[in-house]
């Protein structure tokens, strides 16, 4: 099976190299039938005209799965001030209708949480489902600035979009082991329905969908309250579903509780296609120094394989990664001195 690989910008090619080596090792040792087809697509190649959005989308539509490295260069911006990389990232999500942004928040074995009460593996283990095709971010291509005096971005919430993301969240909850604290399966609707009618609409539709899932507990929380809950009682959480921007902010907060963005991985999923990527940025300040933590890229690769139906290979990746970390192999952001390449080789030796 061919998989589209987007090498991105900054540290992107370095950490993607780690993922490709692992895929090739799985093929060599265990017969994994995945062929990574690499593309030098990122903010830089968009800016220099090598790629345009239509061409990128035409190529992407040829694949069932995309493995994407971080993209972006803060120096490369559109006339309105937004980063050019966002044109690629949001076009892939919106135009390919990858409506469910799945962001696990999981404390991995061998990694310490800054929340000192939660330092056993999987003591923090929940998933944020971020609606990926609507919300405030859907205004990226249509925001309005009037005479340099007023900027307007509109939030879009539709019945179709909210129904399908709510269903996705409940279906995912059915497959989980529930919250780490008590094993209860639940989905929390996160919004600001006390302030905005669009969120009241989101909550209303979520409630309608929840009535079809008697075995799953439906809960409700405002976004600011959820931010506090993720710090104080993360072990009570199972699945969270929310609007695009809130999901973006809360998932980064969640990443901080499990060691930082270097451990934050994700999938952007539709009914028949998926794009898997680290949550963190391209970190141009450390690009080329061989010190980037490839964990989120590797876990995104594992997530992709599991989604494609190669669960046994996904487990091999995770076991090998966790064993490397437990043995003391750590990149600088983890408090160690391992290079990206040494970290990768340590994982490969465990396979």
Task: Quick: pLDDT tens for 227-241.
Answer: 999 999 999 999 999
CB 347 within 8 Å of CB 324: yes
Q: How confident is the model at residue 142 (pLDDT cuts 50, 70, 90)?
A: low
**Predicted pLDDT of residue 185:** 98
CATH topology of domain 1-98+270-351: Isopropylmalate Dehydrogenase (3.40.718)
Domain boundary assignment for the chain: 1-98+270-351, 107-260
- Indicate the CATH number for domain 107-260: 3.40.718.10
SS (H, E, C) 198-261: HHHHHHHHHHHHHCCCCCCEEEEEEHHHHHHHHHHCHHHCCEEEECHHHHHHHHHHHHHHCCCH
Average pLDDT, the chain: 93
- Give tens-digit pLDDT for 237-277: 999 999 999 999 999 999 999 999 999 999 999 999 999 99
Domains 1-98+270-351 and 107-260 in one fold: yes
Average pLDDT over residues 67-92: 83
What average pLDDT score do residues 95-100 get?
94
Whether residue 131 contacts residue 96, with contact meaning beta carbons closer than 8 Å, is answered with: no
Local confidence band at 147 (pLDDT 50, 70, 90 cut-offs): low
Rounded Cα–Cα distance for residues 82 and 52 (Å): 17
What percent of the chain has a predicted confidence (pLDDT) above 70? 97
């Amino acid at each position: 099976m061919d998989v589209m690989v987007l090498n991105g910008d900054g540290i992107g090619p370095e950490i993607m190299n780690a993922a490709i080596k692992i895929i090739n090792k799985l093929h060599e040792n265990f017969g994994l039938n995945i062929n990574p087809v690499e593309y030098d697509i990122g903010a830089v190649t968009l800016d220099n005209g090598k790629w345009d959005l239509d061409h990128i989308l035409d190529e992407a539509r040829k694949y069932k799965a995309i493995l994407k490295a971080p993209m972006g260069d803060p120096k490369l911006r559109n006339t309105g001030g937004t980063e050019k990389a966002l044109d690629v990232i949001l076009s892939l999500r919106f135009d390919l209708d990858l409506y469910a942004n799945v962001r696990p928040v999981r404390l991995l074995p061998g990694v310490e949480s800054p929340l000192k009460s939660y330092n056993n593996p999987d003591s923090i283990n929940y998933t944020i489902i971020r609606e990926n095709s609507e919300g405030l971010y859907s205004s990226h291509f249509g925001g309005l600035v009037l005479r340099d005096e007023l900027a307007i971005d509109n939030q879009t919430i539709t019945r179709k979009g909210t129904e399908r993301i709510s269903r996705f969240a409940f279906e995912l909850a059915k497959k989980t082991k529930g919250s780490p604290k008590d094993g209860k399966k639940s989905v929390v609707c996160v919004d600001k329905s006390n302030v905005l009618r669009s969120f009241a609409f989101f909550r209303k539709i979520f409630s309608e969908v929840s009535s079809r899932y008697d075995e799953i507990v439906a809960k409700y929380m405002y976004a600011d309250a959820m931010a506090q809950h993720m710090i104080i009682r993360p072990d009570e959480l199972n699945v969270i579903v929310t609007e695009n921007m809130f999901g973006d902010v809360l998932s980064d907060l969640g990443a901080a509780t499990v060691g930082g963005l270097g451990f934050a991985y994700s999938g952007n999923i539709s009914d028949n296609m998926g794009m898997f990527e680290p949550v963190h940025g391209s970190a141009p300040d450390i690009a080329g120094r061989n010190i980037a933590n490839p964990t989120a890229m590797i876990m995104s690769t594992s997530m992709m394989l599991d989604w494609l139906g190669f669960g046994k290979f996904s487990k091999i990746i995770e076991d090998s990664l966790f064993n490397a970390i437990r043995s003391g192999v750590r990149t600088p952001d983890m408090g160690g001195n391992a290079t990206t390449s040494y970290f990768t080789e340590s994982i490969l030796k465990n396979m």
